[in-house]
Amino acid sequence: MTNKPMMILIAGPYRSGTGDDPEKMAANLARLEAAAWPVFEAGHVPMIGEWVALPVLRSAGADPFDPNHPLSEKVMYPTAERLLEHCDAVLRLPGESKGADQDVAIAHRRGLPVYHRAEEIPAR
């Protein structure tokens, strides 16, 4: 068991495989969010990049579900990269995702653990 709760970035498909369909993107976000409870239940703080990036896009006047908006590329991936400066680990969910693969690569460079199943996360 660890003493301090970890902040764990949940990484997986959001835009990938959706054809930029907002409903499919919302379904992918729901899958990411479904992993939040097991992380929390283990005594940690779940974090999803879209929880930060989408409100940032909205506050900049962009449609957060328009991946072709000029601000989208300036916000989505950089948000996850900045979050990883504060996170202690990554939970990589299944599915093809360039962004999630980037998150894992950053985690590896920073020496952060990468889990592939919630059951692998040590309980606090």
Query: 77-99, pLDDT tens digit by residue?
Result: 999 999 999 999 999 999 999 99
* 81, 44 Cβ separation under 8 angstroms: no
Say which CATH number the domain at 18 has: 3.40.50.10400
**Given pLDDT bands bounded at 50, 70 and 90, which one contains residue 3?**
confident
**Overall number of domains in the chain:** 1
Q: What does R_g of the chain's alpha carbons equal in angstroms?
A: 14
Is residue 50 domain-resident? yes
Is residue 52 domain-resident? yes
* 91, 115 Cβ separation under 8 angstroms: yes
**Given pLDDT bands bounded at 50, 70 and 90, which one contains residue 2?**
low
Is residue 39 domain-resident? yes
Is residue 103 domain-resident? yes
Per-residue pLDDT at 71:
93
Domain region containing 103: 7-116
Is residue 1 domain-resident? no
Is residue 123 domain-resident? no
**pLDDT, tens digit (0-9, with 9 covering 90-100), for 38-58:** 999 999 999 999 999 999 999
